[in-house]
């Protein structure tokens, strides 16, 4: 069983930055993705960024490319999402996910964190 704990959310002004962290306990599968998704009420969960376990390859959604960066600390089984140049449209609950078979398909992930709220003030 894998448990994921996110942290780092909060309120920020337009153009500001935040870094989200996701600490995983328990063994995640090899050859799988860990990723970040976000969701606003009434909309589907959207894949934001993902990282592949075997080689560290990263995948970033077009909507945030150039502004968001995903990275990992293997020693501490933690992934990060650095978010720069934040916009009001980035306001959402952000979720960490693990053991995914496809980077941006939520249903492919087996484990989810509880979420952390990011609010970008307009």
pLDDT computed for residue 26 by the predictor? 83
At 69, which helix (H) or strand (E)?
strand 68-73
Q: Average pLDDT of the chain?
A: 95
Is the model more confident about 81 or about 30? 81
Does 91 have pLDDT greater than 90?
yes
Percent of the chain predicted with pLDDT > 90:
91
Of 9, 16, 37, the closest CA to residue 87 belongs to: 16
């Amino acid at each position: 069983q894998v448990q994921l704990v996110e942290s780092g959310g909060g309120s920020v002004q337009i153009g500001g930055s935040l870094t989200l962290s996701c600490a995983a306990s328990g063994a995640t599968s090899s050859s799988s993705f860990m990723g970040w998704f976000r969701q606003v009420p009434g909309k589907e969960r959207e894949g934001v960024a993902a990282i592949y376990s075997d080689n560290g390859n990263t995948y970033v959604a077009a909507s945030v490319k150039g502004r968001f960066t995903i990275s990992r600390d293997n020693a501490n089984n933690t992934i990060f999402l650095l978010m720069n140049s934040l916009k009001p449209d980035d306001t959402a609950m952000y979720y960490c996910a693990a053991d995914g078979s496809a980077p941006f398909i939520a249903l492919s992930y087996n484990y989810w964190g509880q979420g952390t709220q990011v609010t970008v003030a307009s």
